[in-house]
Structure 1
């Protein structure tokens, strides 16, 4: 099974490389034909209407993404607990908590210092408590969605008000900016600000709409990192998405909690390979495949080296072996108990969703209840991977 997966990866990679070369040749031809050295980008809108190869034309989806996240309503804990993907969201939060905690340990391992963090694509501030628990000194939060940035700042101010008198909460700056187009360094309150960590959670794939956007996002993530600093994040695994698409009888795949839809299959351009992703009531936006070997290559421009790249399943299997990570998992309710409490009721009534847990529970020596995710939630979570880059001295 592993051999087939690797073969698929090589074939998909070759397709991407060939498609990328073809696109570059088309771009070179366009540039040669352009009048008076006009830039390709200025004619993009007109070309989109007439091009015979509209699939490969890059449309700017930044407005759609910002609009979607701006329109998401803030819901309370009670409403979140009723969500079909309650445990999956907790699982993702646990995974981010472990990642952030371990990276902070590495930063402090280099010696006592004032720790500064850039949260690139901060959203509504879902990771604020993680940075608080990590005892950082300064945080810069940036996001394309202005409403989300306002809510993030409001959460921060509320957190400061409710903190204990002897607790020192980190200082913070909040920036509304499209980090795929704007230079973030020009917006910093301290023009000399440098960071120990840049965290980019479930966001970087939006930038792979074009090479220019992906590079600007990388520049914002990496150029202000201190030597030895880390760029960490989570993003969909393009190889996994392509594998599932190729195995599908249609141009989409998914289950009762998520759906991924492509416009075509068989060729996958290096940039601007769009698909539409929907996840229950949380996500409903266009995204772009991130071809990871290219991502790694681009990061080298900013003196970054890849130190960790793991699928969520691999990361989970490694980290859950440690007692303190298991304890945090229980505290965060990152897995659903099986059989369920309240007369055996689970997040969904479908028995097929827990057939894997039922099979495992019947094995010798297994103690109940088990910790699990429903099959649909696991299929959604297992799309993603964790990455860690480090700034070389």
Structure 2
């Protein structure tokens, strides 16, 4: 890992006599040369596999999802997204934006539509690589619209089926001059790190139509955490009964195309790629983006849960499991080791049961992610 990543440190630490603009341009050119010799670009890549994966996923419905072993994990991740989206919508509103436009890259089936409705935005463009996901997103929006009262505000929406790692979205918008205040990219950007060209095309789509002062926000796996867990493992994989991550081999982590397979209970695996964040940050500078937030899910949770509104939302979204409860104490098949941390906390005289928690297995699964936010410079 150190040998591979040290290449970047050589590239990024130019002489201070060189202007910052030329540092970025030279860095980008050198990265292209590296990727050419690594011969990591493919004609089709894994994008078709990703599209096929999401096209094959069945819409299971709320009742089934609530019976899943990872229901609290999903709700927790959803809470992270809700807080992130809410905070940056508020930042936009504080800049006196009267009409807010949002680009949702990798919108999936429309899981964030309600968040945008609550944020009272004016325009939403939803983009995804999977045809069926886009169709379901359109249906969800239609259902939401039909349930609105006549005097209730709902944003206008536009839907685009496109591979954001290979196609330029500017050519597909209904309004060719549209500009956005926020681009949201949740659990998606890492698919683009198959090649430099794909990662940069995704960045261009995310950032080029942002207004100065606009934000590119998202969630993505933390490369450092993934590699740390892999190196601590005796094999090429790690995980627990809920999730698993499998690499092709240990010790070599190329800047692009570093593939691993991710499995989460109830979800068929699909190829993903490591995102080395210092490289991601450097590439973003080419698109006039400044990093303003980078936190692990654990850090983000610890900070944001101190806010009373965020804490109330955590309860409302049922993002933590009550412990002890009939489901997790004494039931057959429950792994007691999953709740040792909760038992230890309850030994505190000030603790009042039941408390909110995630199982150890769920926490291990969600703690491989981080949140990020970039701001568009003038």
Could you state the TM-score of these two structures normalised by the residue count of structure 1?
0.87
Instruction: State the superposition RMSD in angstroms.
Output: 2.4
Please point out which of 36, 42, 58 is paired with 1:27: 36
Match of 1:35 in 2: none
What residue in structure 1 maps to residue 287 of structure 2? 302
| Alpha-carbon contact 2:122-2:156 (below 8 Å) kept | yes
Are 1:228 and 1:390, in contact at CA under 8 Å, matched by a contact in 2? yes
Q: Distance in 1 between matches of 2:153 and 2:255?
A: 45
- Is structure 2 residue 275 aligned with structure 1 residue 290? yes
Hey, what does 1:270 align to over in structure 2? 255
Rounded Cα–Cα distance in structure 1 between residues aligned with 2:34 and 2:120: 50
Mapping for residues 215-234 of structure 1, pairs under 5 Å? 215-234=200-219
Deviation per residue, 1:110-136 (Å, 9 max, x gap): 114100000000000000000000000
Q: Does 1:189 align with 2:174?
A: yes
Secondary structure (helix, strand or coil) at the match of 1:302 reads: coil
- 1:72 and 2:57 matched: yes
Does 1:97 find its partner at 2:72? no
- Specify the alignment match of 1:236 in structure 2: 221
Match of 1:14 in 2: 6
Counterpart Cα distance in 2 of 1:383 and 1:251: 17
Q: Secondary structure at the residue paired with 1:209?
A: coil
Structure 2 residues without counterparts, runs of 5 or longer:
12-26
Q: Which runs of 4+ in 1 moved over 2 A?
A: 10-30, 341-348
- Superposed CA offset, 1:128-182 (max 9, x none): 0000000000000000001000000000011000111210210000000000000
State the shift of 1:17 in Å: 6.0
The C-alpha deviation readout for 1:18-63, integer Å capped at 9, x for no partner, is 8998994583598xxxxxxxxx96xx57xxxxxxxxxxxxx71001
CA–CA separation in structure 2 for the residues paired with 1:316 and 1:346: 29
Aligned pairs for 1:97-246 (under 5 A) are 97-246=82-231
Aligned residue pairs, count: 361
What does residue 367 of structure 1 align with?
Answer: 352
Correspondent of 2:237 among 228, 249, 252: 252
1:284, CA displacement in angstroms? 1.3
Measured in 1, the distance between the counterparts of 2:33 and 2:137 equals: 40
Q: Following the alignment from structure 1 to structure 2, what is the Cα–Cα distance between the partners of residues 322 and 64?
A: 40
**Alignment gaps of 5+ in structure 1:** 1-7, 31-39, 46-58
Richer in helix (by share): 1
Question: 2:318: which partner in 1?
Answer: 333
Q: Match for residue 382 of structure 1?
A: 367
Q: Determine if contact 2:35/2:196 at 8 Å carries over to the other structure.
A: no
Using a 3 Å threshold, how does the CA distance of structure 1 residues 111 and 283 change in structure 2: closer, same or farther?
farther
Compute the displacement of 1:12 (Å). Answer: 6.8
SS of residue paired to 2:312:
helix
The corresponding residue for 1:49 is none
What SS does the corresponding residue of 2:63 show, helix, strand or coil?
helix
| Farther off after superposition, 335-344 or 190-199 | 335-344
Distance 1:261 1:111 in 2: 47
